[in-house]
Amino acid sequence: MPAVKPLPVRRNARLKNYDYASNGYYFVTVCAYNNEPNIQKHQETVEKILHSLPEKIPGVKIDYTCLMPAHIHTIFIFNAVKKNLGEVIRIFKALVSKETGIKDFWQR
């Protein structure tokens, strides 16, 4: 049986002691798995789910979005949100993966 290669250690880009549920603007880039053009292939689904987030998560608004073939840039506006930024992104990614049926749609 071949040895399992360990996952690379990722640098944590988050600020220590920062509350990512606090009010404000958040610029987020989410990448497709293995730089696949998944977003381009499923653009309608990605846009539909992204723009449905304010209905699903009270206090979240979307200020700006730019879809690229293998990644997406979004500016979220948080105003009294009950979830933090990581949870919002997790919900978005899970909904897209479920809707498209692609398990490895997104990069970790």
pLDDT value of position 18: 86
- Confidence at 9, pLDDT banded by 50, 70, 90: confident
CB 85 within 8 A of CB 101: no
pTM reported for the whole predicted model: 0.86
CA 29 to chain centre: 7
User: Residue 63 to residues 41, 50, 74, 75: CA-CA distances in angstroms?
Assistant: 23, 11, 7, 5
pLDDT tens, 23-82?
Answer: 999 999 999 999 999 999 999 999 999 999 999 999 999 999 999 999 999 999 999 999
| Predicted local distance difference test score (pLDDT) of residue 11 | 81
pLDDT at 1: 61
Quote the CA–CA distance of 66 and 29 in Å, as a whole number: 10
**Whole-number Å distance between alpha carbons of 43 and 81:** 27
DSSP letter, residue 32? B
For residue 17, pLDDT beyond 90: no
Please choose, from the candidates 48, 87, 46, the residue with its C-alpha nearest in 3D space to the C-alpha of residue 67. Answer: 46
